[in-house]
Amino acid sequence: MSRLEEMIATARLHAAGNRVAGLTAAPALHLAFVACMDSRIDVFTMFGLSTGDAHVLRNAGGIVTDDMIRSLAISQRMLGTRQIIIIQHTGCGLLHVSDDDFADSLERETGERPRWKAGGFEDVEDNVRRSMAAVRTSPFIPYTGEVFGFVYDLDTPRLVEVDPE
């Protein structure tokens, strides 16, 4: 059995256990996370969460992009979340990436330049601050009083809160 077949079999067992029966789309803790897609970061385990507790939105870098604003607006306005936690980490693949170099490479390879930016950055704490500011200044996010940012240090492993200022 291949690894993919094993994962599908596990998913079927999970579905048979019906662990989400009775839960709604609104997270029980009224909490939304924006986190990097890095597979070393398990938000549910890190924060002791259970299924149904929080929305976890992920992308490369854990950066608050227009699509993250869209999802957070839906999360707050339609599903009742009030707190937002942004988690980025040391050793991120976007650290020291040039958006222009990446776009140039894609354009050379495909003949088309992307309309989006990779989101490369030089300092993870500054990047968390920029993401926090993007949430706090968005007209689409109504509850911005409890926006928190953290850097997860993969080496220690420590979670360090980032001062928004």
Residue 9 lies in a domain: no
The three-state secondary structure class of 29 is: coil
Q: Which helix (H) or strand (E) holds 151?
A: strand 147-153
- Residue 9: pLDDT band with limits 50, 70, 90: confident
Tokens of 71: 């999802």
Q: What is the CATH number of the domain that holds 146?
A: 3.40.1050.10
Residue 86 lies in a domain: yes
The confidence score (pLDDT) of residue 142 equals 97
Residue 17 lies in a domain: no
Residue 107 lies in a domain: yes
Residue 118 lies in a domain: yes
| Helix axes 66-79 and 124-137, enclosed angle (nearest 10) | 50
Residue 4 lies in a domain: no
What pTM was estimated for this model as a whole?
Answer: 0.91
The per-residue pLDDT for range 48-66, each reduced to its tens digit, is 999 999 999 999 999 999 9
Q: What is the average pLDDT value for the chain, to the nearest integer?
A: 94
Residue 60 lies in a domain: yes
DSSP one-letter code for 95: B
Q: Give the closest residue to 129 by CA, choosing from 102, 160, 105.
A: 160
Q: How many CB atoms lie within 10 A of CB 11?
A: 10
Residue 101 lies in a domain: yes
Angle (CA) 47-48-54 rounded to 5° is 70
> What are the strands, taking DSSP E only, across 4-141?
31-36, 54-59, 83-89
The per-residue pLDDT for range 100-141, each reduced to its tens digit, is 999 999 999 999 999 999 999 999 999 999 999 999 999 999
Q: Give the closest residue to 144 by CA, choosing from 136, 154, 152.
A: 136
Domain span holding position 54: 24-161
**Per the structure, how many domains does the chain have?**
1
